[in-house]
Amino acid sequence: MTAPAARRSAADGGPHHPPPGWSPNSWRVRPIAQQPGWPDPRRLREVLEDLALLPPLVLPGEIEDLRHTLARVAEGRAFLLQAGDCAERFASCTESGVRGRLRVILQLAILLTYGSGLPVVKVGRIAGQFGKPRSSPTEVVDGVELPAFRGDNVNDPAPTPQARTPDAERLRMAYHHASATLNVLRALTKEGFADLNRVHAWNQEFVRRSPAGQQYEAAAADIAWALRFMAACGADTARMQAVRQVQLYTSHEALLPAFEQALTRRAEAAGAWYGTSAHMLWVGDRTRDVDGAHVEYLSGLGNPIGVKVGPSLTPADLRVLCDRLDPDHIPGRLVLISRLGADRITDLLPPLVREVAATGRPVVWSCDPMHGNTFRSASGYKTRRLADIIREIDGFFAVCGAEGAFPGGIHLELTGDNVTECLGGAEEILDTHLSRRYETACDPRLNAGQSIELAFHIADLLRRHRAS
Ligand code: PEP
Ligand code: CO
């Protein structure tokens, strides 16, 4: 999984070096948003000191591999699929839990590859996506005001003052749960489970009967046939690494710089610094202040950095943010993730794309069609309509096409389970169905059938974009 930095071509640039004055803790003097009120600062310090002594979760060589792969996305030669839970739970760190989440990512990736003819870079919101920014620091439950749930790495969602009190020990648990998740992921992606010869086995029984599942079965049969064709031509597909293994990278929102700092390591050979809690880190829409702590921290790392681009970000501010995070225009360094909402994307995205294009910077444009389309349904559930999600993606492809930019990626909140959290789809999930299996710890996720349906739609858009 690691690759020595030395074998990379100079043409891809990088690695990114920190700006003058940066250090892993230089964020501490900046204003910071969305932090828990830790009740015991001494305990917090001890946990962070312990974490700083533990091994990195991912290695600099892997991180550089991802950056080089994203450089190909920026050139239009590959497509980025970034997907997973809104908020990962410690309790879902089980073998079957991890297997289920990997399975749906593999299904989507193969459909996108099959439909578009492009390699798909797979990045999970996984193995560390524990922390959540909140619109309000407190919520009222049964008349009692409680601190909001900020993710398993901070507090517990149970509606009691004790459960909601931030506990620094949870940061240690976050490290160990991420480590255990990565361990299973590394095993499953290297042996057996991810083998393309098992493409049918990724379709779970409950999905198989659905319209999307049946469409998947037909695509899987074609892929199996193509593999037999290759074997008949003499290719030993049972042994080919490209058929038997996949590379899954990890990512999460770098919401807690104190935690990230404890896992920041310097790679002596490259002379660069890396956040080693995940391959890719992103800055959320609520914490992307160019003078704030989060951007300061991320500005020094060599990792690919995602930036959530919400409706309040002006083209001029986006330019300043890009200059700050990527002064050297390093290919694969920046992934700009638009989350503008289905109604506004066609108005708001064009000037943003133009502004970045004017800098000549080779960024990846990716579309998060989830976070701009959340609302509370009549029955009181936080939800999203698959139709809005599709409309935002359509808008994204249309704008990129018109502006001459490559629609490079998609950022989804999904699960391989049969949940009822988002409305619509071939199975026509209605507001009255949401209570059946509404299990998310934060935002509503697409279920397996809705995700597969969406993958067919995106593959189609990609194919058409490439043909135009
Ligand atoms: C998220 O990705 O879960 C999230 C909170 O997104 P945003 O920062 O775009 O609102
Ligand atoms: Co979310």
| For the chain, domain boundaries | 53-133+168-467
What separation, in Å, do the N-terminal and C-terminal C-alpha atoms of the chain show? 36
Instruction: Considering only residues 13 and 108, tell me which one the structure prediction assigns the higher pLDDT.
Output: 108
> Rounded to two decimals, what is the model's pTM?
0.96
Name the pLDDT band for 468 (thresholds 50, 70, 90).
confident
Name the pLDDT band for 7 (thresholds 50, 70, 90).
very low
Return the best residue to mutate from 135, 286, 389, 440 for the ligand 1 pocket (most ligand atoms within 8 A of CB): 286
Name the pLDDT band for 269 (thresholds 50, 70, 90).
confident
Rg (CA), the chain: 21
- Whether the Cβ atoms of residue 166 and residue 36 lie closer than 8 Å to each other: yes
pLDDT score recorded for residue 360: 96
* pLDDT higher than 60, residue 333: yes
Distance of CA 337 to the CA centre of its chain: 10
Average pLDDT over residues 79-104: 97
b/e per residue 52-88 (b: at least 16 CB within 10 A) = eeeebbbbbbbbbbbbbbbbbbbeeebbbbbbbbbbb
* pLDDT higher than 90, residue 307: yes
Q: What type of residue sits at position 143?
A: G
CA of 443 to the centre of ligand 1 (A): 9
C-alpha angle 179/183/186, rounded to 5°?
130
For the CA of 337, the closest atom of ligand 1 is: 9
Average pLDDT over residues 322-338: 98
With a 6 Å cutoff on the Cβ, whether 65 touches ligand 1 is no
With a 6 Å cutoff on the Cβ, whether 150 touches ligand 1 is no
Residue nearest to atom 6 of ligand 1 (CA): 284
Name the pLDDT band for 247 (thresholds 50, 70, 90).
very high
b/e per residue 303-312 (b: at least 16 CB within 10 A) = bbbbbbbbbe
* pLDDT higher than 70, residue 10: no
Percent of the chain clearing pLDDT 70 (strictly above): 97
* Short-list 314, 309, 318, 315, CA closest to 290: 318
Among 140-144, 251-255, 318-322, 405-409, the minimum mean pLDDT is found in 140-144
What is the chain's mean pLDDT, rounded? 95
For residue 336, the ligand closest to its alpha carbon is 1
Instruction: Considering only residues 10 and 21, tell me which one the structure prediction assigns the higher pLDDT.
Output: 21
Q: Which helix (H) or strand (E) holds 147?
A: strand 144-147
Q: Which residue has the tokens 């890396």?
A: 274
Domain 53-133+168-467 has CATH 3.20.20.70: yes
